[in-house]
Each structure stands twice: as C-alpha cells, then as structure tokens.
C-alpha cells in the first residue's frame, strides 16, 4: 500500500460534493481515508474505497479498492481472467468507467492533484467494484418484482399514454442502459424504473441498480428527458438514505398513494 499523509475526513466533505455517496469515513493505519459507499457486493458487504496521496513529484491523489474486489471473487472461487470472454468483459468495464487494474487493485487516478470534487471518481470506482463482482452472482435468478406489473397496469390505463417495457437508453459510457419503461405522452418522453418491494434486501439492491442507471443516463445524450423512480407506498423496505440518493438524479414517487402526482409527472 502507498504511504499517505495529511488526509482527514473533513477534507473529504470539501472534496466530495455528493455526500450521499459516502456512508462512513475514517483514517486507516497507513493514513489513507477509508470511504464506505452505499453500494454493496453480492454478499451484502458494503464497498469501501480508499483515498490516498501517491508518492510522486506532484503528490497526486488516487482511489483504490486495495484489492478487495479481487479477494471477494477469489473467496467465491471466481477467476476473472480464466477465459478470454471474461477478460474482455473486465476490460470493457474498466475502459468505460476510466478505472485501471494495477496488480489486483482497482484504481482511479484523481485529477487535478487538488480536486474540487471527487464524487465522480468515488462513483466510477465503486461501480467498477460492483459490476466486476457481479461475476460471482451471474448464476443467481433475477430479483422478482411483481410490483412492476402493478405499475404496468396503471400506466396502460392513462389515456393517451404509451408505455414501452424494457427500452435501452444510451448512457454516459457509450453503453446501453435498460430501464423498466419508456412512456410517451403528447408532450414528452419519460423513463421509469420501478423498485422491488418484497424485502429490505431486494429494495436496497434495486435502489442501488436504479441509481447506477440514472447516473449513467444523466451523462448521456438523453439526459434532458424526465427520469422517474417509483416505489411501493405499501412496502416499508425502502431506506431513507436510498431514497435521498435517488432524488439526486430522478423524481421519486410512491405508488399507489401518489398516483395523481405520478400521472401528472408522466403526462406533463
């Protein structure tokens, strides 16, 4: 690990404008800042990234996962470089997110040396950890979301509205982002994601995935179109912190308790 000095969590508050990306902050033994993000590995452990000062002339900053993603995959008996297909997928993820793999560590170089905002770097590194760790859960079934079907019925009943399921939307990393619905009224096109509500785990997982989707779309060429997150007002499982984070990039609406507000948003 790189020896680092003169970093503290008060500096992080100045540099990370989107503090919804930071659950916890503390200083580890070598002086780096451990930043606990709201994103989690498939086993439920939160993803930590580490901010450190590099030993170079410019004393530049970098973020690293300190090899935890690689260790997680090894513990799940996943060898990410075992096949050419896996290596290509890993390379594509890293290239899209601007992340390097140095040894077994995932690293983002932070520029300039004294940045005003490192929120984007925190997001990109945590997303690399999340997407690469998905190798360990590719065989798991998709999270069931019957609430999505309830929303689909509601959308079909709105006069003059067309709702297309599972459209692909261009994202900021030249990637396609799949959302639950694209709605078309006489005045506008909107994108909708629906959160699962069967359990706290399902709600948190889909909230994280939805946040990733909105972040990607917000930086793409369809960024001006309304983004709407719908959650189940009858379910107690959506965390306040997840809801707040989603509000940074979308309008968050409860259904059915706010069905009138939802219809106004879609048909505006």
Per-residue pLDDT of 253-264, as tens digits, reads 999 999 999 999
Give me the pLDDT at residue 140, please: 46
- Lowest mean pLDDT, pick from 129-143, 145-159, 203-217: 129-143
List the structure tokens of 263. 């219809």
Give me the pLDDT at residue 135, please: 67
Give dist(CA 204, CA 8) in Å, integer: 29
Give me the pLDDT at residue 58, please: 56
Nearest to 43 by CA among 14, 17, 69, 11: 69
Q: What is the mean pLDDT of residues 204-215?
A: 88
Give me the pLDDT at residue 168, please: 94
pTM above 0.85, yes or no: no
Q: What is the mean pLDDT of residues 3-30?
A: 76
Give me the pLDDT at residue 254, please: 97
Give me the pLDDT at residue 43, please: 78
Indicate whether 88 pLDDT > 90: no
Indicate whether 4 pLDDT > 60: no
- Lowest mean pLDDT, pick from 7-16, 178-187, 207-216, 223-232: 7-16
Indicate whether 2 pLDDT > 60: no
Indicate whether 83 pLDDT > 60: yes
Give dist(CA 16, CA 87) in Å, integer: 32
Round the average pLDDT of the chain to a whole number and report it.
Answer: 85
Give dist(CA 123, CA 138) in Å, integer: 22
Give me the pLDDT at residue 106, please: 96
Give me the pLDDT at residue 85, please: 78
Top-confidence residue, 28 or 172? 28
CB-count burial class (<10 Å; 0-12, 13-18, 19+) for 65: buried
Q: What is the mean pLDDT of residues 14-33?
A: 83
Give me the pLDDT at residue 141, please: 45
Top-confidence residue, 164 or 172? 164
Sign of CA pseudo-dihedral 124, 130, 131, 132: positive
């Amino acid at each position: 690990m790189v020896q680092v000095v003169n970093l503290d969590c008060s500096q992080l508050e100045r540099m990370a404008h989107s503090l919804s990306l930071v659950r916890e902050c503390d200083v580890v033994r070598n002086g780096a800042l451990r930043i606990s993000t709201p994103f989690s590995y498939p086993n439920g452990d939160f993803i930590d990234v580490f901010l450190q000062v590099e030993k170079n002339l410019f004393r530049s900053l970098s973020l690293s996962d300190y090899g935890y993603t690689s260790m997680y995959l090894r513990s799940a008996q996943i060898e990410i470089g075992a096949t050419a297909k896996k290596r290509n997928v890993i390379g594509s993820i890293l290239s899209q997110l601007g992340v390097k793999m140095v040894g077994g560590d995932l690293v983002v170089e932070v520029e300039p040396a004294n940045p005003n905002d490192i929120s984007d770097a925190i997001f990109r590194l945590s997303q690399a950890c999340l997407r690469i760790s998905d190798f360990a859960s590719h065989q798991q079934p998709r999270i069931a979301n019957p609430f999505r079907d309830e929303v689909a019925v509601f959308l079909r009943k709105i006069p003059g509205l067309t709702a297309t399921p599972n459209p692909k939307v261009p994202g900021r990393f030249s990637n396609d982002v799949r959302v639950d619905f694209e709605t078309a009224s006489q005045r506008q096109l909107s994108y909708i994601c629906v959160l699962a509500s069967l359990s706290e785990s399902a709600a948190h997982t889909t909230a994280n995935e939805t946040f990733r989707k909105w972040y990607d779309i917000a930086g793409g060429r369809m960024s001006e179109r309304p983004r709407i997150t719908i959650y189940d007002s009858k379910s107690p499982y959506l965390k306040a912190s997840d809801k707040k984070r989603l509000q940074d990039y979308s309008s968050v609406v409860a259904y059915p308790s706010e069905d009138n507000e939802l219809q106004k948003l879609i048909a505006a």
